């Protein structure tokens, strides 16, 4: 697709589906961070998570407006993803403050890497928007500092959090693949066909290698084994 070209036909459907899952993901991230703030040990920690939640809601508004600009109803675009994303968050509900931080950093990071990879095949406006809303909002340093400080105070938590990070990796990748497979337009966009050039098998392998390497880097930043 040429630079600046608006998506049409099946590609438009695929873009709207991708923006829909992202938009609902941002709403759930906003809700999750606001809820996790209740477990924060200090007022400063509560404020930090509150700022992260505000950033996620701002991302949602950008995605909502783009869906509307493509002539679709944002609520309808998000609706197919409500149940699968809600189920994902039920299966990966953090047990405490630290697990919530790791999920916000590692789990959301895996999803962001995947969607940035997929965005390479989109029209310029949608691609740039996805890159923008998946960009680090500057809060990673807070998460890394908090987790590392917790490990310094009690080294035993590192093993538990490392296992949690590995579980998040598996769950996040499975969820992304499942959501794409259940939506015909998204699947066609990923593997090629009427909705766009797609990825060949070798490119898909390289994509998941890059996602895995980025995950390992985030785990290392937290002081955790991947």
Q: Over 50: is that where the pLDDT of 195 sits?
A: no
Over residues 49-68, the pLDDT tens digits come to 899 899 999 999 999 999 99
Model confidence, pTM:
0.84
Write down the pLDDT at residue 200: 63
Over residues 84-126, the pLDDT tens digits come to 899 888 999 999 999 999 998 998 888 888 888 888 778 889 8
Q: How confident is the model at residue 11 (pLDDT cuts 50, 70, 90)?
A: confident
Apex CA 118: angle with CA 207 and CA 79, to 5°? 130
Query: Length of the chain in residues, anyone?
Result: 226
Could you tell me the end-to-end alpha-carbon distance of the chain, in angstroms, rounded to an integer? 37
Write down the pLDDT at residue 196: 52
Burial (CB count <10 Å: 0-12, 13-18, 19+), residue 41: exposed
């Amino acid at each position: 697709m040429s630079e600046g070209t608006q998506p049409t036909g099946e590609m438009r459907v695929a873009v709207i589906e991708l923006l829909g899952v992202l938009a609902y993901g941002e709403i759930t991230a906003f809700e999750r961070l606001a809820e996790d703030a209740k477990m924060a040990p200090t007022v400063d920690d509560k404020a930090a998570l509150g700022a992260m939640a505000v950033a996620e809601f701002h991302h949602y508004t950008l995605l909502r407006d783009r869906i509307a600009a493509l002539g679709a109803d944002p609520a309808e675009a998000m609706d197919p993803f409500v149940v699968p994303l809600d189920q994902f968050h039920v299966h990966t509900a953090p047990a405490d403050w630290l697990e919530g931080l790791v999920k916000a950093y590692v789990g959301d990071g895996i999803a962001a890497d995947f969607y940035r990879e997929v965005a390479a095949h989109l029209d310029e406006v949608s691609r740039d928007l996805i890159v923008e809303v998946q960009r680090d909002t500057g809060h990673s340093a807070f998460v890394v500092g908090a987790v590392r400080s917790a490990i310094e105070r009690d080294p035993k938590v590192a093993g538990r959090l490392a296992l949690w990070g590995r579980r998040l990796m598996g769950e996040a990748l499975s969820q992304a693949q499942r959501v794409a497979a259940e939506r015909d337009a998204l699947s066609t966009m990923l593997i090629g066909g009427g909705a766009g050039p797609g990825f060949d098998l070798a490119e898909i392998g390289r994509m998941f290698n890059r996602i895995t390497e980025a995950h390992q880097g985030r785990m290392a930043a937290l002081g955790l084994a991947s």
